[in-house]
């Protein structure tokens, strides 16, 4: 039995869709970097402590 499986390719997106995807990815990355780097609650601070120092972001 043959199933029809569609494949996704970034080339199939329009320029506007690719730009929107890039902007969302960049914003998510910036949020993750700074959101984790400067988290203040103790539980977030402790969870991300080693990662902060690994990427040379001071936290204290």
Query: Tell me, what's the pLDDT at 30?
Result: 85
Is residue 3 in some structural domain?
no
Is residue 49 in some structural domain?
yes
Is residue 4 in some structural domain?
no
User: How many domains does the chain fold into?
Assistant: 1
Is residue 41 in some structural domain?
yes
In whole angstroms, give the CA distance from residue 3 to residue 57: 49
Other beta carbons within 10 angstroms of residue 33's beta carbon come to 14
Instruction: Tell me the mean pLDDT in the region 34-41.
Output: 71
In whole angstroms, give the CA distance from residue 39 to residue 48: 8
How sure is the predictor about 17, in pLDDT bands with cuts at 50, 70 and 90?
confident
Range of the structural domain that residue 39 is part of:
14-54
Is residue 22 in some structural domain?
yes
Is residue 6 in some structural domain?
no
Question: Quick check: 27 pLDDT over 90?
Answer: yes
How sure is the predictor about 39, in pLDDT bands with cuts at 50, 70 and 90?
low
Is residue 5 in some structural domain?
no
């Amino acid at each position: 039995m043959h199933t029809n499986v569609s494949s996704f390719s970034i080339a199939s997106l329009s320029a506007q869709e690719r730009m929107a995807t890039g902007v969302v990815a960049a914003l998510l990355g910036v949020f993750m970097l700074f959101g984790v780097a400067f988290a203040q609650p103790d539980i977030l601070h402790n969870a991300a402590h080693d990662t902060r120092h690994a990427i040379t972001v001071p936290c204290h």
